[in-house]
């Protein structure tokens, strides 16, 4: 018996026997926003785009975003091959564990070039506990004096950490930097030479920064690089969901943590106690 005849026999409408999916009213707006976010964050897949949408107030789940993602033919560009790192790959090292906001900051340099071939040098400062990028200074070169100036500005805005972790680069081990940190009771933690994985948090950040920003941009001047990179830093802190923070942004997570001791109080306080040393692999 045909479907039409069966419906006539049972006195039912034919339209009630067939489901015809209809697009939700907000679908065009949602697709438009997804495409905008993909342009802004080209290295994000549909899961992280879903988190961004939820943070903006959209009532969506990953399945719906994935359906629209496939419908629009979206793909994450192929990632560039990572350079092999030096040294052992076992990841087991002795390191200080950041136990609170502003407990341990990591600092490092990242290098790139403008389109005329001249070098760019970027100073990055990371709070290991909150994963915030506190600074991304761009220039042609840096000295110990310049590093001190950046730290003074950060201390005035943010407060003072208990430790700063870095490699043994000349800027970080300069007498000017060491004397300054000692004068305000900030401890130093230097990683072993040729062991960048011992500074794992900043290395992980640097990888994402290069993948999501530097590899997607070409800078004509230092000034242009500063504007673009600062825009990316703000988005990283305030909009980009972080997997290790249960999908929160670094800024949101930091707002739920106690602030560090003000500079004035630190200058008169007793020297801090060395944090516990633990052995664990660093996630890269």
For the segment 65-124, what is each residue's pLDDT rounded down to a tens digit? 999 888 888 887 766 554 443 333 333 334 568 888 999 999 999 999 999 889 999 999
CATH number at residue 172: 3.30.420.10
State residue 97's pLDDT score: 80
pLDDT for 127 = 94
Q: Which domain holds residue 242?
A: 98-269
Checking DSSP bridges between strand 133-139 and strand 119-127, what pairing results, if any? antiparallel
Cα–Cα distances in angstroms (integers) from residue 246 to residues 92, 190, 217, 241, in the given order: 25, 30, 29, 8
Scan for tokens 């020297």, then name that residue: 271
Cβ contact 122:112 at 8 Å: yes
Whether residue 249 contacts residue 238, with contact meaning beta carbons closer than 8 Å, is answered with: yes
Is residue 225 located within the same domain as residue 116? yes
Do 155 and 107 reside in the same domain of the chain? yes
pLDDT score recorded for residue 113: 92
Return the pLDDT at 23. 59
Write out the two tokens for 69. 């993602």
Of 80-94, 111-125, 213-227, 234-248, minimum mean pLDDT range: 80-94
On average, the pLDDT of the chain sits at 80
What is the C-alpha separation between 52 and 77, in angstroms, rounded? 19
Q: Count the domains in the chain.
A: 2
Return the pLDDT at 22: 58
One domain for residues 142 and 253: yes
Tens digit of each residue's pLDDT (9 = 90 or more) over 89-101 = 333 334 568 888 9
pLDDT score for 284: 36
In this prediction, residue 80 carries a pLDDT of 57
Q: Assess whether 35 and 147 both reside in one domain.
A: no
Token pair recorded at residue 154: 């950060």
- Same domain? For 165 and 59 the reply is no
**Average pLDDT for 33-42:** 87
Is the predicted pLDDT of residue 10 greater than 50, yes or no? yes
pLDDT at 276 over 70: no
Portion of the chain with pLDDT greater than 70, in percent: 80
Residues 136 and 181 grouped into a single domain: yes
The whole-number pLDDT of residue 105 equals 94
Given a contact cutoff of 8 angstroms between Cβ atoms, the answer to whether 144 and 151 are in contact is no
Examine the pLDDT at 188 and tell me if it is beyond 70.
yes
Q: Do 155 and 202 belong together in one domain?
A: yes
| Residue 208 belongs to a domain | yes
pLDDT attached to residue 260: 56
pLDDT for 257: 84
Q: What is the mean pLDDT of residues 119-146?
A: 93
């Amino acid at each position: 018996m045909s479907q039409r005849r069966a419906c006539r026999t049972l006195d039912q409408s034919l339209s009630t026997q067939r489901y015809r999916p209809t697009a939700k009213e907000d679908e065009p707006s949602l697709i438009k926003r997804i495409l905008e976010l993909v342009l802004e964050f080209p290295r994000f897949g549909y899961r992280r785009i879903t988190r961004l949408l939820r943070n903006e107030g959209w009532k969506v789940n990953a399945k719906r975003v994935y359906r629209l993602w496939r419908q629009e033919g979206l793909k994450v560009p192929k990632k560039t091959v990572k350079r092999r790192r030096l040294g052992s790959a076992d990841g087991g090292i002795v390191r200080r564990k950041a136990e609170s906001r502003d407990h341990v900051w990591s600092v490092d340099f990242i290098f790139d070039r403008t389109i005329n071939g001249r070098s760019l040098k970027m100073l990055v400062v990371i709070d290991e506990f909150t994963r915030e990028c506190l600074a991304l200074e761009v220039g042609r070169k840096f000295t110990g004096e310049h590093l001190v100036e950046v730290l003074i500005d950060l201390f005035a805005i943010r407060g003072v950490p208990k430790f700063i972790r870095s490699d043994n680069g000349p800027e970080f081990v300069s007498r000017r930097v060491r004397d300054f940190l000692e004068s305000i009771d900030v401890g130093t933690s230097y990683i072993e030479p040729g062991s960048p994985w011992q500074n794992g948090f900043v290395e992980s950040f640097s990888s994402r920064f290069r993948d999501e920003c530097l590899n997607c941009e070409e800078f004509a001047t230092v000034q242009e690089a500063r504007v673009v990179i600062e825009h990316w830093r703000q988005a990283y802190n305030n909009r980009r969901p972080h997997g290790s923070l249960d999908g929160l942004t670094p800024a949101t997570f930091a707002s739920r943590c106690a602030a560090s001791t003000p500079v004035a109080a630190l200058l008169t306080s007793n020297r801090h106690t060395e944090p516990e040393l633990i052995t664990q692999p660093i996630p890269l």
